[in-house]
A = this chain, B = another copy of it.
Amino acid sequence: MAKSGSLRLGVLGSGRGSNFAAIAEAASRGDVAAEVAAVISDVENAGILQHANQLGIPGRFIDPGKYRTKLDEGAEQAYITALQSAQVDLVVLAGFMRILKGDFLRSFEGRVINIHPSLLPSFPGLKAWKQALDYGVKHTGATVHFVDQGIDSGAIIAQETVPVLDEDTPETLLERIHGAEHRIYPASIAAIARGEVILKGRRTVRRVS
């Protein structure tokens, strides 16, 4: 990962973009040596695009094509081209609801990260906060990880734990998890920008710079 200067981020999202907002704010405060170079959504008029627009960051809908859970071939190439044109160093998934596969991951090898609303490897997949509540765990959390070919299976960069309370509903629990996400996602990107995140097998460790 490039160490010098500011890391150029390409953010992909399908929703309201609260993680994008947390990252953009941290970057504008100077807490993260990074700038959001591009925001792309597979959902026309997604909140994340409106938010990018308000911040003066180039935001763009790119049609994902005919599938529901992945990009079709043409779309995948359009996403790659858009991110490469923006000279993106790191692809940041922020509520992007499609699985990224072979060509995309090869184009940004080791440079795609995601955030997941559980303590992986518990509760991969959809609605992880609801899975946790239904299972009956007493602690869940959020996980920042590199994206590999599996579902939520890549090397973990950071995790924060979140208690599950007896009186929690899916909504109250998700809100608490969002709080953790908005702390560890910017902090993880900051650590990557400083060149501190070192991959050792499938573990990551921090090099103190």
Contacts and interface: CB of A to CB of B under 8 A. Distances in A.
A55 B160 CA distance: 41
Interface stretch (A10-18, A77-85, A151-159): A151-159
This chain: how many copies in the complex? 2
B156 A136 contact: yes
A119 B121 contact: no
A204 interface: yes
Contacts of A141: 139
Contact of A121 (B135, B201, B202): B135
Given A119-B122, A122-B119, A161-B161, A136 B204 contact: yes
A1 interface: no
B122 A138 contact: no
A121 B123 CA distance: 8
B166 A139 contact: no
A202 B136 contact: yes
A159 B138 contact: yes
Interface string A82-110: 00000000000000000000000000000
Interface residues of A, number: 26
Contacts of A123: 121
A121 B124 CA distance: 11
A123 B119 CA distance: 12
B137 A120 contact: yes
Contacts of A137: 119-121, 156, 159
Nearest to A132: B121
Contacts of A161: 139, 161
A158 B138 contact: yes
A203 B156 contact: no
A205 interface: yes
13 contacts: A119-B119, A119-B137, A120-B137, A121-B135, A122-B122, A133-B203, A135-B202, A136-B156, A136-B203, A137-B156, A138-B159, A139-B161, A166-B205
Interface of A: 119-123, 133-139, 141, 155-156, 158-161, 166, 201-206
